[in-house]
Amino acid sequence: MAATLLWSRTISGSPFAPWFSQLLKEIGFYTYYCSKPYMTAVARLRRMQAFYVLFIGAGSAGAVIANRLTENPHFKVLLMEAGGDETEISDVPALAGYLQLSKMDWQYKTEPQDSACLAMAGRRCNWPRGKVMGGSSVLNYMLYVRGNKRDYDAWDQSGCHGWDSETVLHYFKKSEDNRNPYIARNSRYHGTGGYLTVQEAPWRTPLATAFVEAGVEMGYENRDYNAEFQTGFMIPQGTIRRGSRCSTSKAFIRPIRLRKNLHVAMHAFVTKILIDPTTKRAYGVKFIRDGRAQVVLARKEVIVSAGAVNSPQLLMLSGIGPADHLRHHNIPVLQDLPVGYNLQDHIGTGGLVFLIDQQVSLVQTRYENLPSVLKYAMFGSGPLTVLGGVEGIGFVKTKFTNATDDWPDIEFHFISGSAASDGGRQIRKVHGLSERTWQYMFKPISFRDSWSVYPMLLRPKSRGYIHLRSNSPFDKPFITHNYLTDPHDVKVMIEGIKIALALTETHSFKRFGSRFYTKPMPGCEHVPFFTDEYWECLARHYTSTIYHPVGTCKMGPYWDPEAVVDPELKVYGISGLRVADASIMPTLVSGNTNAPVVMIGECVSDMIKNYWIGDKK
């Protein structure tokens, strides 16, 4: 009776009419029979009609899209984030490691495997993902790297039209506010005046300069890797502003917080996308906030920007995914798609530590003091402005790529310290090192001056997958990384390690008394040192994620059997639903992923606005 009245008075003639019965089941309106609950239901339903677009996730893409869509006053947007706001600590670049394993982190772990992560506790790698306004742009090391132009041209050639290098360059420049005048003057490749501030850290150790000089000694250029050519060495560009982190929340949401058509719901944990099983149209979401289950409706679209772990999990919980897997968890299948597969991630090899004789590295006791804090607070400078300890980036080519092509297959992350530079307080926890590894290999060099380099595999061939643990949204999914399961990945990584070792033989590092720390990795003692077999063993033990999982909701043309979304990021077979985050990447880009995800947000914003152009309903 009450449901019938509710239909006639509130819903009849509205765009939600076809989904009303399904909605009543979802939010329990059939139980409302007395006047007060009935009126509450009516009020709730009227409020639920208000939003034009719903966003799930206020991360690196979600924040951008919310900003761009609300430029149109007719787009009434609700941005939903499971976490809260950033903190003062998250603003400090050098403290990036302390944000992991905190309440701003989903604190995921991979499943134990024999191929990698063998030096980690339980053979499980930590997988930090941002649970905060700004998403993983609040937890990351702020490196602004776009990738190689060939990455995007390959996307376009595979059928993802509109994602070629020239098109995406426009969107990279659109968001960028590059504050290095020597770089910004190259207007062909860089932008100024955008929301996202990009610049180098205002302070660096002498080791940072030595790293770039060492690269030049080895025959590489000192060049801007975000311009025409990528191969070379450089002081990294980062998403920082006046010495502090510039997350996507700070860049794209705070400046527009007073827009009347933007609504932000923090601590809103989305549990399901509401989809009409007959029309297969997404029309809202269920979420939990303040301990109460609630529903909100979307007049036009639901956009999932929850990241490469949460986006596939939410799609599968909502009935979109591999049919057999969903049935196994008693989830009704609405659309059979390969959600959760095609998982790719950048990994680096840790444990390449080089000791030095001069007190010039980032030893924690040296910068954890009042002068450093005052330099940061008053001048936006000092050691606390270093990008999570990363002071150099290098792109090199191994023998497995064409020497005449600008197509490097290894990226170096240069750290002015080691896993022991803080005496075991935080870095060992962030990396998840086992007690045996810490005690045997790293504790003996606690607080010693040192530097490290992480060779990162740019285009891994190994593929993993993400599966549901259960049909409960509160159970973290299974993450099967499959690192180094493809033999080619192992070969490229070994060559990358060898090039990294050559750095310490340059004059630039020899003047600091640099030498390789030759303590063998526990578990590799039986392997002869300085052999390919030892480097493979090291890579399989100290396997470090570089925090770049992608591909689990793959973008592709309709003829691609692995595709989940089309080139406009619409989910195949479901109308009114898009995915826009790192999960849509068909293949990993040749570089860090935060800047490309911001670009994805910029690009899909225009797609959405063009799709609904002239629609004001």
The 10 Å CB-count burial string (b at 16+, else e) for 194-229 is: bbbbbbbbbbbbebbebbbbbbebbebeebbbbeee
Active-site choice (190, 431, 481, 548): 548
- Give the Cα separation of 395 and 591 in Å (integer): 9
Question: Is 45:68 a contact under the CB 8 Å cutoff?
Answer: no
DSSP H helical ranges for 404-518? 427-431, 435-437, 487-503, 507-510
Q: What are phi and psi of 561, to 5 degrees?
A: -65, -15
- Give the Cα separation of 26 and 276 in Å (integer): 11
In sequence order, what are the beta bridge partners of 355? 450, 515
Question: Is 315:306 a contact under the CB 8 Å cutoff?
Answer: no
Token pair in block for residue 522 = 């526990």
| CA 323 from centre of chain | 27
- Give the Cα separation of 398 and 530 in Å (integer): 18
Listed residue (139, 112, 102, 100) closest to 479, CA to CA:
112
Give the angle subtended at the CA of 307 by the CAs of 595 and 588, to the nearest 5°.
55
The answer to the question of whether 490 is labelled as a binding residue is: no
Question: Is 422:452 a contact under the CB 8 Å cutoff?
Answer: no
Give the DSSP per-residue string, 287-315: EEETTEEEEEE-SSEEEE-SHHHHHHHHH
Q: What are phi and psi of 266, to 5 degrees?
A: -85, 160
Which residues fall within 8 angstroms of residue 102, CB to CB, at 6 or more apart? none
Residues in the chain: 617
The answer to the question of whether 270 is labelled as a binding residue is: yes
Q: Which residue's entry shows tokens 């490749």?
A: 189
Listed residue (586, 532, 527, 594) closest to 561, CA to CA:
586
Q: What are phi and psi of 465, to 5 degrees?
A: -160, 160
Listed residue (338, 253, 260, 267) closest to 59, CA to CA:
253
Angle 206-217/487-503 helices, nearest 10 degrees? 110
Assess whether 548 carries a catalytic annotation.
Answer: yes
Pick out the residues of the known binding site for FAD: 132, 270
Tell me the catalytic residues: 548
Pick out the residues of the known binding site: 132, 270
